[in-house]
Amino acid sequence: MIFEKRSTRTRMSTETGFALLGGHPCFLTSQDIHLGVNESSTDTARVLSGLCDIVLARVYSHSTLEELDKEASIPIINGLSDLYHPIQILADFLTLQEHYGSLNGLTVSWIGDGNNVLHSFMMTAAKLGVHLKIATPKHGTQLVLTSDPMEAAHGSNVLVTDTWVSMGQEEEKKKRLKDFKGYQITMQTGSVAKPDWTFLHCLPRKLEEVDDHVFYSSRSLVFPEAENRKWTIMGLMVSLLTDYSPKIPHAQVLISGLLLVRHDT
């Protein structure tokens, strides 16, 4: 497990899950490994291929994952990069499937930053028959479908947001908080959603992103969502390390189409 960026859920779900499967997880931070500094990513990938069976890497740059995958002879899992966060999306959709019984036809509304989690939602939703509506500010994002949170929330089953200030963006905090004014998810936001609407957040959460009335309400699925990080990463590792094939077609699509870092994804 290579972690250039700290994490609670990704580290704990992977460590405890892999141990339950009978494996031995090894945790490496940027202080423990020479990735791309004293040793190239190419050399690191080849060394780890001889010492490990699988690597989960949580990195700043997606190009680091691509280089590891190109040079490694073992599976490389994207534990998060600046471009995607696919293992979070596995847990999110498992949580929604458990809650609603089916994913097909659900409408998910993303209200917040156009970040790596959103990119993974966009990569996944159409594969599962899920409608996706997005509200992001007019400035500083790559894709703008609407800048009106209420428009995005209208008629939706699921309201989702994430941190407005990611690690590495601390210097932009003041401007970002100003840009995202009015984007806090509240019960008023949910008032235009469907009667059975629920809320997701990949955590950790800040009050400006969603208020306590929503975050700690019965509509919030954030803690089952966090727990499902463990079960989904276990399923992924079993799938990659054995000849096991998921029995649910949607899960197979997720695993084969999203989680391996390949150049055709």
Look-up of token digits 């001889």 = 50
Residue 26 catalytic? no
pLDDT for the residue numbered 50: 95
Neighbours of 100 (CB within 10 A): 15
What is the predicted pLDDT for the residue at 251? 45
What confidence score (pLDDT) does residue 136 get?
86
Across the strands, what pairs with 107?
131
Q: What's the full length of the chain, in residues?
A: 265
- Percent of the chain's residues with pLDDT above 70: 89
The pair of structure tokens assigned to 176 is 């970002």
Asked if 11 and 1 count as a contact pair (C-beta separation under 8 A), the reply is yes
Check if the beta carbon of residue 210 is closer than 8 Å to that of residue 161.
Answer: yes
Q: What is the pLDDT of residue 143?
A: 43
Q: Closest by alpha carbon to 116, among 154, 142, 147, 155?
A: 142
Instruction: Specify the long-range contacts of residues 177-180, CB closer than 8 Å, at least 24 apart.
Output: 177/208, 179/137, 179/139, 179/140, 180/112, 180/113, 180/137, 180/208
pLDDT at 263 over 50: no
Q: Indicate the DSSP class of residue 96.
A: H
Evaluate if residue 164 carries a pLDDT over 70.
yes
Check pLDDT > 70 for residue 259.
no
Listed in sequence order, the residues at least 6 apart from 158 whose beta carbon sits closer than 8 Å to its beta carbon are 96, 106, 107, 108, 109, 197, 198, 199, 200
Q: What is the pLDDT of residues 243-254, one digit of tens each?
A: 876 665 554 444
pLDDT at 165 over 60: yes
Mean pLDDT, range 111-129, rounded to an integer: 93
What average pLDDT does the segment 167-191 reach?
93
Under the banding of pLDDT at 50, 70 and 90, the label for residue 169 is: confident
Which residue of the set 200, 202, 222, 251 is catalytic?
A: 202
Q: How far apart are the first and last CA of the chain?
A: 22
Average pLDDT for the chain: 89
pLDDT for the residue 255? 45
Q: What average pLDDT does this structure show over 137-152?
A: 72
Stated pTM of the model = 0.79
- Per-residue confidence at 166, pLDDT binned at 50, 70, 90? confident
